[in-house]
């Protein structure tokens, strides 16, 4: 099922909130913040899940860096 523009925008805003918290950190600080993020329950837009995986967060960060001049 294709998501509406608003749904896609909400999902991207959620991802960017997570990425924004870690994108400028050095690796040890980034790992610490990611562990804090993983310990929290989240309301993921349009999902029944309430947890994130470390792999997902690092994938979002990698995608962000590939599509910006970071």
Domain residue ranges in the chain: 5-66
Per the CB < 8 A criterion, the answer to whether 11 and 45 are in contact is yes
pLDDT at 11 over 50: yes
Q: Residue 70 pLDDT more than 50?
A: no
Q: What average pLDDT does this structure show over 1-27? A: 93
- Residue 66 in this model has a pLDDT that exceeds 70: yes
pLDDT surpasses 90 at 45: no
The CA-atom distances, in angstroms, between 63 and each of 40, 41, 56 are: 23, 23, 10
d(CA 45, CA 34) in angstroms, rounded, equals 19
* The model's pTM: 0.85
């Amino acid at each position: 099922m294709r998501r509406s523009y608003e749904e896609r925008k909400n999902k991207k805003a959620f991802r960017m909130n997570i990425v924004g918290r870690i994108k400028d950190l050095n690796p040890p600080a980034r790992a610490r913040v990611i562990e804090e993020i993983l310990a929290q329950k989240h309301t993921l837009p349009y999902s029944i899940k309430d947890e994130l995986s470390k792999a997902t967060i690092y994938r979002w960060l990698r995608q962000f860096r590939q599509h910006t001049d970071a």
